[in-house]
Structure 1
Amino acid sequence: MDEAHFETQLAALAAAIGERTRVRILCALMDGRAYTATELSTVADVTASTASSHLARLQQQRLIDCVPQGRHRYFRLASVQVAEALEKLMGLAGSEPITPRSKTPQRLRFARTCYDHMAGELAVALHDRLCRQGWLDAQHYTLSAAGLQALQGIGLSLEAIPAQRKFACACLDWSERRPHLGGHLGAVLLQAFEKQRWVVRQLDSRALQLTASGKRALQAHFDLLLP
């Protein structure tokens, strides 16, 4: 890249960040979650169409990514590097991010079923813990040898994967707006939790109740302590 092109690109990047509406959008995304254009338009106090044009500008500069999920399109920061750069700028400015508030009922937000796997705060925390432990590769969604051994140790059967089913994948959580574990691995994990009654389905909704034995198991097997 020659010097003139570099300067042009840097100026374009600075211009993308240096606009009040786009700043508010970027600050909202600093919590690590993904939001719809409508939600971000509310945070930025602009119309949905105006927000869409700003989101397109931010995408063009590779500051944010768009994640299709069902009928919706969610936007999130493009990388950890973007978040780190914004955090430093926010520190210089002394600003605090504005976060959209979820209206999801608390029991559904904490734990629920998402088709055949777990979702909600519990599932997101479990997904993140598997990655931090080095058991799950968050880029390719494969298990390490240690991860396979650990999950088999709590009763997961990972031998027969249904045809045309992903072994594991990220499923964007609609209340937490961060990934939980989907695919075959997510399904058998829920099966194991139910079999050992670590979680119990609620009869009147998709909510899952984390039992006392489930709390102890999360701490013992995953070093995960939840309130």
Structure 2
Amino acid sequence: MSAPITRTGGEPDIAAVAALLADRSRARLLSALLDGRALPAGRLAAEAGVTPQTTSSHLGRLLEAGLVTVERSGRHRFYSLASAEVATALEALGRLAPEPPITSLRQGTRAQRLRDARTCYDHLAGRLGVRITAHLVDIAVLRRTDGGDGVHRSHSDALSSPAHGSPYELGARAAEGLARWGVNLAALREHGRSRPVLRFCTDWTEQRYHLAGGLGAALLRSVRDQGWVEDGPRPRELVITRRGEEALADLLGASPA
């Protein structure tokens, strides 16, 4: 069994994490958790396409490294990603990784659904996530602070990296604008002190910023609670409902995706 990955204040041991992710089965297990769910080992194995016989061993190594956590509920143990930072790192690696060729209509349809709307851990991603972020910039909910334009990535942010710090701050119309999306900014600030309100990812399919952090999570919860999006047939996929099409078209001014 591998030694735990520790933080000693020296140079990060990237190779230790990379060695864990170099195994395709472990990488698939982590990817299956990228939508923020907690899953029992059997369900996780099925969704990741990993044999149940090896899943326990892989999860043990990921637990030891601090990449996943486990919570017992009744007879089952539920596994989830250890933090948003783990999800961000996996998304960044996804931008670096080569895309496998699409060899069937089914694969092509799934790839399109993922590009249109998906979850990135606990927030919106894909065209929909980028589109909403751009809209929040347009209505002065978000104000760019690094001299950049709209949701285009800063020159200081590589395509394979999350945004450094936050290229935005909350604008003058933040509370008013977010209320239209069902998000109470004052409550978010009050109850979300342990997590930054604003964080951003460079979307791996769109190569532009989408909103993450506490506000991104609150926005996804809101659109789900209002029935504007629902889970698609595969993990991480989101489908815009008929109600959502009408609401998002009203808010965004055009087709939502």
Aligned residue number for residue 36 of structure 1:
none
Aligned residue number for residue 142 of structure 1:
169
User: SS of 2:136's equivalent?
Assistant: helix
Cα distance, 1:190 vs structure 2: 0.5
* C-alpha separation in 2, matches of 1:209 and 1:141: 28
Aligned amino acid, residue 70 of structure 1:
A
* C-alpha separation in 2, matches of 1:208 and 1:127: 17
In the alignment, structure 1 residue 120 sits paired with structure 2 residue 126: yes
Change (3 A) 1:109 1:152: same
* C-alpha separation in 2, matches of 1:179 and 1:102: 25
Point out the more displaced range, 152-161 or 190-199. Answer: 152-161
Change (3 A) 1:184 1:224: farther
Tell me if the contact between 1:161 and 1:167 (Cα under 8 Å) persists in the aligned partners: no
Change (3 A) 1:148 1:101: farther
Number of aligned residue pairs: give it: 135
Tell me if the contact between 1:198 and 1:211 (Cα under 8 Å) persists in the aligned partners: yes
Identity %: 34
* C-alpha separation in 1, matches of 2:132 and 2:100: 22
Change (3 A) 1:102 1:226: farther
When normalised by structure 1's length, the TM-score is: 0.52
Gaps of 5+ in 1: 1-68, 76-99
* C-alpha separation in 2, matches of 1:216 and 1:142: 29
Which structure shows the higher helix fraction? 1
- In the TM superposition, what are the counterparts of 1:53-68 in structure 2 within 5 Å? none
Aligned residue number for residue 179 of structure 2:
152
Equivalent of 1:109 in 97, 102, 115: 115
User: SS of 2:234's equivalent?
Assistant: coil
- In the TM superposition, what are the counterparts of 1:22-101 in structure 2 within 5 Å? 70=89, 72=92
When normalised by structure 2's length, the TM-score is: 0.46
Q: Structure 1, residues 73-123: CA drift from partner, whole Å, max 9, x if none? A: 779xxxxxxxxxxxxxxxxxxxxxxxx999670011110111110100111
Aligned residue number for residue 206 of structure 2:
176
Q: CA RMSD in A?
A: 2.7
Q: Structure 1, residues 45-91: CA drift from partner, whole Å, max 9, x if none? A: xxxxxxxxxxxxxxxxxxxxxxxx6264779xxxxxxxxxxxxxxxx
Aligned residue number for residue 166 of structure 1:
196
Cα distance, 1:224 vs structure 2: 4.1
Structure with the greater alpha carbon radius of gyration:
1
Gaps of 5+ in 2: 1-87, 103-109, 146-166
User: SS of 1:142's equivalent?
Assistant: strand
User: SS of 1:205's equivalent?
Assistant: coil
Change (3 A) 1:205 1:185: same
